[in-house]
Structure 1
Amino acid sequence: MTYLRLLQHRAADGARSVILAQGDAAHVLPGVTSVRELALRAIDEGKTLSQVAKDCGEGAAIDIAAELAAGTIIAPVDHEDPAHLLMTGTGLTHLGSAEGRNKMHQAAASGENVTDSMRMFLEGLEGGKPAAGTEGQQPEWFYKGDGSQLVGPGETLTMPAFAKDGGEEPELAGIYIIGNDGQPYRLGLALANEFSDHVTERHNYLWLAHSKLREAALGPELLIGDVPEKIEGMSKILRDGEVLWEKPFLSGEGNMSHSFANLEHHHFKYALFRRPGDLHVHFFGTATLSCTDGIETREGDVFEISAAPFTLPVSNPLARDAAGEAVTTVKVL
């Protein structure tokens, strides 16, 4: 089966366009400058995103791999006002994800010494895929930032000067828009590197919130329409052009302890997250981390995450913010 993907393109002169890709073929959608614009059109016309994209007709054919290499492919979703794009996520959602977390915490996961992480994972395993129309177990939830923290294809993932670590998290991200009536719509799925500070989290799991306030990267393609139940990919770290570490990862609902619907309910049940016109990038979690294999990343490393049916990877180098670590002070007015 060939899947439909949307990409956003920005030419050297700043002109923007949207690309529809299927298999190895791709073409520009005439008269469309952003995925958000196309999504709002689909809502207004009562059509799916796939239908409205096909209705646009076919513009010039385009080689998406060549455009990615040229640096003209940007993140597959964005908002002209970054404050109206929210990045959030859920953890302990994948089969096997508790193993890595407990390894990080170096705590027992049996009998009376079950960790909070393992307890949450087991509750999700039991109640994370409820019957349609019923509410399941709520997951771990975290906030990452707004659109100013979104990193596009090939761009640098920058950890703060005070960070203890900059580590990859190969994931799927759900991309959403809120209609004028407050109804959330899922546009599709993107391949993502959720990027966190695992050393900070390992010190004390109550610092999870601090460890997640970081940038995050999306791959070039937004997978729309039907999506596979199971997705298999590869997560790599390159150092000086050589593979330092690599490991396969699994995602998609068939490899998760929660359904997308349950994770979506527990995010969008808050009216705060149903503000008309807003975009949401929601990271669905992972069970594969290099830090659990003892890898310590350093500046200059390159994270590369790939998975079919996405045809292009998420690839981003790591850097540290050059700003000093002076104490931030607040002035009294």
Structure 2
Amino acid sequence: MAIRLLQHRADDGTRSVIAADGDNAAFVPGVASVRLLAARAIEQGVTLAEAVAACGSGDTVDLAGELAAGRLIAPIDHDDAAHVLLTGTGLTHLGSAEGRDKMHRAAAEAQTQTDSMRMFLEGVAGGKPPAGETGQQPEWFYKGDGTQLVAPGAPLMMPAFAQDGGEEPELAGIYLIGPDGTPFRLGLCLANEFSDHVTERHNYLWLAHSKLRQAALGPELLVGVPPAHVQGTSRIVREGVTLWEKPFLSGEDNMSHSIANLEAHHFKYDLFRRPGDIHIHFFGTATLSFSDAVKTEVGDVFEIAAAPFTLPLRNPLGRALAAPVVVRAL
């Protein structure tokens, strides 16, 4: 089994990295963050797994207990949140067009196909090019910087003006840009991309607005070759009772684009290859409670779980207080 890396913050604020292999987990001596560990691996020309092995093994850890205690934070971050970029791609999974197409068809009755369906079918036709080639360009969106990243267990907060707060269970690729501008994929995380689907449904051109929301990563960073097939469960729990539950699929076997193609189209832009930056790129999903007419409420808990990740990602839904902004002329 591939190793998983986690970030730990003790009650006194001390930070550490944990390496897990199967059911065994232990602190990585002398390392305070995954970012610094990855930077060391890049400098030494070794893999993350090799960098971990070179550190040796510290005290063992009860991962479930540390998660329950709130001591596991997001598995990647940066001292300066402005150097973390949250982005993503949509319509990348087999079946992902169905919900989106339903959402937008009412506004496009005269067309034989909505733009969403056309984009999805173009991805099916050209999203998995031969190795070394670049295929069809996917949909792309921006979610914000590192201030939008929520820890496992912390609330996902809708803005006061939001019309909806809906889960999106998926995988996210985690990247560090090396000193020469080379993007290095550190691994994959379980993720809740969290969007405002009511806003998006009103007009497809509001997709950009609907994506400017927080997001959460599961506590584990899965290192190594991405699994081709990931099967998990997404559920919403309201007052202790499961309100909605559905399986979801990810990994390239279930996608219309290869991960390499999504990466090629993201990192083709010079501004996304700035040395030292962290990129969290969400790969999309085909499973949404919104497609099943679920209306979420403040206090609902989103729960996403999938092997080979061993810990679930749980986040309650909250709503921020209104904070009017006044623009002043100078």
2:190 maps to which residue?
191
Measured in 1, the distance between the counterparts of 2:2 and 2:99 equals 32
1:70 aligned onto 2:72: no
Partner residue in 2 for 1:146:
145
Alpha-carbon contact 1:177-1:186 (below 8 Å) kept: yes
2:95 match: 96
1:170·1:192 contact (CA, 8 Å) conserved in 2? yes
Whether the 8 Å contact between 2:228 and 2:253 is mirrored in structure 1 is yes
Q: Which portions of structure 1, spanning 4 or more consecutive aligned residues, are displaced by more than 4 angstroms?
A: 107-112
Report the counterpart of residue 329 of structure 2 in structure 1.
332
Partner secondary structure for residue 262 of structure 2: helix
Contact 1:176–1:184 (8 Å) recurs in 2: yes
The answer on whether the counterparts of 2:96 and 2:286 sit within 8 Å (CA) in structure 1 is yes
Separation in 1 of the partners of 2:111 and 2:148? 40
How high is the TM-score relative to the length of structure 1?
A: 0.97
CA shift for structure 1 position 109:
9.2
Opposite residue 67 of structure 2, the aligned amino acid is L
- Kept in 2, the 8 Å contact 1:3–1:227? The answer is no
SS for the counterpart of 1:185 is strand
Q: How does 1:1-333 map to 2 (within 5 A)?
A: 2-107=1-106, 113-324=112-323, 326=324, 328-333=325-330
Question: Residue 105 of structure 2 contacts residue 114 of structure 2 at CA under 8 Å; is this kept in 1?
Answer: no
Q: Which ranges in structure 2 are unaligned for 5 or more consecutive residues?
A: none
User: Shift in Å at residue 133 of structure 1?
Assistant: 1.3
Query: Could you tell me which amino acid in structure 2 is paired with residue 54 of structure 1?
Result: A
Structure 2 counterpart of 1:263, which letter?
L
- Partner Cα distance (1:110, 1:48) in 2: 51
CA RMSD of aligned residues (A): 1.3
For residues 248-271 of structure 1, the C-alpha deviation after alignment (integer angstroms, 9 at most, x for no partner) is 000001100000100001000000
Residue 106 of structure 1 and its aligned partner are, at CA, apart by 3.2
Determine if contact 1:107/1:115 at 8 Å carries over to the other structure.
no
CA distance in 2, matches of 1:302, 1:104: 24
Could you tell me how far apart the structure 2 residues matched to 1:318 and 1:119 are?
A: 33
Greater shift in the superposed pair: 49-58 or 167-176: 49-58
Q: TM-score of the superposition, structure 2-length normalised?
A: 0.98
3-state DSSP class of the match of 1:106?
helix
Percent of residue pairs bearing the same amino acid type = 70
